[in-house]
Structure 1
């Protein structure tokens, strides 16, 4: 569905499609290859995660038009997916647990937001444990 949205955007929303591609290219440059440790650090960088998430809101949310809001419909699915992941984390955790959550970096921003806003957990950044 999202792929179709960007294909249609090239015709119906060309400026949006161009800006989205530029954002994607900038993001690719920010995610530098390296050692596993370097990549873990890079993919958990708060500024980079915010820039990645901004792509969803700035471009994907604006794909399509009435009555076919492709981008918002896709984002509804994306938020639901991340809320389900959060729900599973919260359900599995006990009071004294320490939990390491490993997901793709595109999930970081929302998962951290949901975890923080729930007030159920104290979040520690992965860098604290990487040597």
Structure 2
């Protein structure tokens, strides 16, 4: 009898769990509009302030408004939310005319159209990215083939992205950064190349990868903490590498279901 009761309870819990409505998350990975040169890969600048690009940004923001996220999360140090609040409160037209970054041009633009009172900062900065140490570790380990592969892959990635920047419209470029191929490339380098860096007793590669995972995992933790029960839809705007990682976390989280940007822009 106890076994029957336990099975009934478990069945009820499973049914309740499966019937819980998932929250929709519009996850947008992008290149950095301002291209400050802070990433390992050096990508040419794209003119998001041209008339054509500004019209595209207006269209994207209007489509996001139609989607209707209750909150918008951005790549801004979470410990400086007060600075983001001050920034958000400034004159919108002035910001859109002067600030080139994606937080202003896309997230702030969309949030203002939605009548939001703020953007939510989720970037976690207390990690390191020891790329120089990784290269030194590879050199000390005699991993010349791995170093060559790393350099060739980086050059190929930069060349491919710069060709797209020269050819694609802003909308096409952003959509391309959110394809399955792009997401796999963003994660693949960490697992295929970086992870192997260093001698068998030197885990510099694994350390770099773990720090990257940590940063993104902490960012996702903030999204979950800041998403309230009343929020049915949220939007997240991050660099494409971060967005690719978050997709991996969301795939195993019954709370959210991803809504693709391509679907929203139809």
Normalised by the length of structure 2, the TM-score is 0.46
- What SS is found at the alignment partner of 1:117? coil
- What SS is found at the alignment partner of 2:257? coil
Shift of 1:5: 1.5
1:4 aligns with 2:138: no
1:10-43 CA distance string (max 9 Å, x none) = 4621100111122223322443213321221111
Report runs of 4+ in structure 1 exceeding 4 Å deviation: none
Residue 262 of structure 2 corresponds to which residue in structure 1?
127
**Contact 2:197–2:204 (Cα < 8 Å) also in 1:** yes
**Contact 2:138–2:199 (Cα < 8 Å) also in 1:** no
Higher helix share: 1
Q: Which protein shows a greater Rg?
A: 2
- For residues 99 and 21 of structure 1, what CA distance do their matches in structure 2 show? 37
- For residues 194 and 200 of structure 2, what CA distance do their matches in structure 1 show? 15
**Contact 2:138–2:147 (Cα < 8 Å) also in 1:** yes
Residue 241 of structure 2 corresponds to which residue in structure 1?
106
- For residues 224 and 132 of structure 2, what CA distance do their matches in structure 1 show? 32
Higher strand share: 2
Residue 144 of structure 2 corresponds to which residue in structure 1?
14
Residue 51 of structure 1 corresponds to which residue in structure 2?
185
- What SS is found at the alignment partner of 1:25? helix
- What SS is found at the alignment partner of 2:232? coil
- What SS is found at the alignment partner of 1:56? helix
**The one of 38, 58, 67 aligned to 2:201:** 67
Q: How many residues align?
A: 131
- For residues 183 and 194 of structure 2, what CA distance do their matches in structure 1 show? 16
- For residues 254 and 199 of structure 2, what CA distance do their matches in structure 1 show? 37
**Contact 1:27–1:52 (Cα < 8 Å) also in 2:** no
Normalised by the length of structure 1, the TM-score is 0.88
- What SS is found at the alignment partner of 1:64? coil
**Contact 1:62–1:72 (Cα < 8 Å) also in 2:** yes
**Contact 2:137–2:199 (Cα < 8 Å) also in 1:** no
Alignment of 1:12-51 (within 5 A): 12-31=142-161, 32-33=164-165, 34-51=168-185
Residue 93 of structure 1 corresponds to which residue in structure 2?
227
Q: Gaps spanning 5+ residues in structure 2: where?
A: 1-129
- What SS is found at the alignment partner of 1:102? strand
Q: Gaps spanning 5+ residues in structure 1: where?
A: none
